[in-house]
Structure 1
Amino acid sequence: MGANLTSLTDGNGDSLKPGLRDIPESCVAAVFMYLSPPEICKLARLNRSFRNAASADFVWESKLPANYRFLLAKLFPDPLDSLSKKEIFAVLSRPHPFDAGSKEVWLEKTTGAVCLAVSSKAMSITGIDDRRYWNFILTDESRFHAIAYLQQIWWFEVDGEFEFQFPAGTYSLFFRLQLGKPTKRLGRRVCNFDHVHGWDLKPVRFQVSTSDSQHASCQCFLEDPEKNGNEGITKHIRGSWMNYHVGDFVVSSSNIPTKIKFSMTQIDCTHSKGGLCVDCVLIYPSNFTEKGKYF
């Protein structure tokens, strides 16, 4: 026992306690398997052992989605074989456009989950070719740098569809909308509400369906109706972008593409409506909580 105590002291009698540098890299890497990517990156700054463990391919392979090879093939025409798994995660965490820039996909940095956005330019919008009703506005408030702005129309219908290979899991679909036309005055953001009308008279109906027969729908007023007690009341804050939850769908296999259709309509022709901005449709994992105000 005395020999054991001696081994824990140096020549001056000071205790030689083991520290973080003495933990084997394999053990550190095994712990990193249970941590999130931001936590791994923070711990990698502690010492060389932790930094080496934080670069292990098997650690980052566990953080990548099951379909990451599909994403690489879809987004990059040239193979990225020279990149480590950590570098692949970093690349896929940045938004990447595809389908002629009408869609973007990226990995959520905390969980590695796949997120996707569909531009309004990729949607079918009734009356979009008639500038009396709709206009596309260039703006830095959209990830696609353009939004569809409705001045006034009687028959309001926006829909779209796309096919994508998601990892298995449950996903939520949202419309990103704003009441009021965004502009800049003297370098400051302002919003024009001159055309906002009609959204308090009848609710807007949202729908989403998939190729494997899943379907979800809901309806809500974009502004408070005159009468209380109506189903689906939602107060939209004018001049603020809101994410409206349409519904959820489940992907059972990471190897099979899912075809998704979505729409928002208000086709009661007894009144006109206008002043609405349509930015994009967003698809997030359902357990991702920072998705917007309404969901």
Structure 2
Amino acid sequence: MTATATPSLVLVPVPPNLVKLLERPDSPLISANGQLYIQSDNPVFTDFNGGKMKLEIDGSTEVKYIMFSAKALSITGSDDSRYWQWISRDDSNFPEVAKLTGVCLFEVKGRFDCTYLHPARFCKVYFILKLQGAYGWNQNPVWFKIETARQQEWSFLFLSDMNRLSYHPWKASFNVLPNNWIEVYAGQISVNETNNSSQNDMKFTMKLYEYGSWKGGLILDSVKIQPVY
């Protein structure tokens, strides 16, 4: 019988601006030689904020991305199983994803203090979703909005035909990921160099401005924030 190798744990340095974000029981910090670390065998931390967030730190102690699960977002009607269902999938980034059965009012919201990602110059925002048995998305586009106290960024996408209006300057770009997940690039916001939380409090929204018809067949996995240094 061949013995299974046990992964060796390493101390991953924590960027100073992330200390407050990571200072919680489910992501313990270790202090050594005046530096704070997280003990891990992988720079990707999945059991974070009750399993609702995931982040990756590269070798230079900069954050590569932070992901918010659907559970960490504000989804209109998600507390009513007639409209949304919480399901598990083997191909998702988190233990549970939000499956839209059918709604008239579609809105997903979240927020994040980009100061945690200082000295990043920009924060890019992506919505990760999948269409399965989709209906009701053909009349109007879904709008994506990113905003801080200083700026706003808008984009849109027709989920029923994502190549529609391909050359419109406000059209959101997207990538098809493995297992037919879709990563929609909603835009980017600049990070205030003063490291001021009130200026870097970012809100992001995915919304359909059409209330008269039902739509469904969408599965929401997460929102990813990727800093640009």
- Regarding TM over 0.5, the answer is yes
User: Greater strand percent: which structure?
Assistant: 2
**Alignment-derived partner of residue 128 in structure 1:** 78
Alignment of 1:78-227 (within 5 A): 79-82=29-32, 93-108=43-58, 112-163=62-113, 165-169=116-120, 170-180=122-132, 193=133, 196-210=134-148, 212-224=149-161
Alignment check: 8 A CA contact 2:140 2:209 kept = no
Aligned length: 213
Higher relative contact order (CA 8 A, sep 6+): 2
Distance in 1 between the 2:32 and 2:141 partners? 53
Question: Deviation digits for residues 111-161 of structure 1, max 9, x if unmatched?
Answer: 833411111112221221222221011122222211101122221111122
What is the one-letter code of the residue matched to 1:267? Answer: Y
| Identity in percent | 28
Q: Give how far 1:90 is off.
A: 6.2
- Provide, for residues 18-74 of structure 1, a one-character-per-residue CA deviation record: whole Å limited to 9, x for no partner: xxxxxxxxxxxxxxxxxxxxxxxxxxxxxxxxxxxxxxxxxx97xx74535445545
Give 2:86's aligned amino acid.
F
* Mapped partners of 2:20, 2:194: distance in 1: 10
Choose the corresponding residue for 1:268, options 201, 210, 214.
Answer: 210
CA distance in 2, matches of 1:201, 1:139: 29
Gaps of 5+ in 1: 1-59, 181-192, 288-295
The amino acid across from 2:226 in the alignment is Y
Distance 1:81 1:226 in 2: 51
8 A Cα contact 2:44 2:56, kept in partner? yes
Greater C-alpha radius of gyration: 1
Whether the aligned pair in 2 keeps the contact of 1:206 and 1:218 (CA below 8 Å) is: yes
CA-based RMSD of the aligned residues comes to 3.7
**Preserved CA contact (<8 Å) 2:44 2:54:** no
Tell me the alpha carbon deviations over residues 189-227 of structure 1, each in whole angstroms, 9 at most, x when there is no partner.
xxxx3xx112222100001112x3221110111122898
TM-score normalised according to structure 2 size: 0.74
Q: What TM-score do you get using the length of structure 1 for normalisation?
A: 0.59
Rounded to whole Å, the distance in 1 between the matches of 2:62 and 2:39 is 8
Which one has the bigger helix percentage?
1
Matching residue's letter, 2:217: G
Listed as ranges, the gaps of 5+ residues in structure 2 are: 1-11
Contact 1:224-1:233 within 8 A present in 2 as well: no
- Structure-1 separation of matches of 2:113 and 2:214: 33
| Residue pair 2:55, 2:63 contacting (<8 A) in 1 also | no
* Deviation by residue 1:223-265 (Cα, 9 ceiling, x = unmatched): 2289867843878869611111112112234854432211111
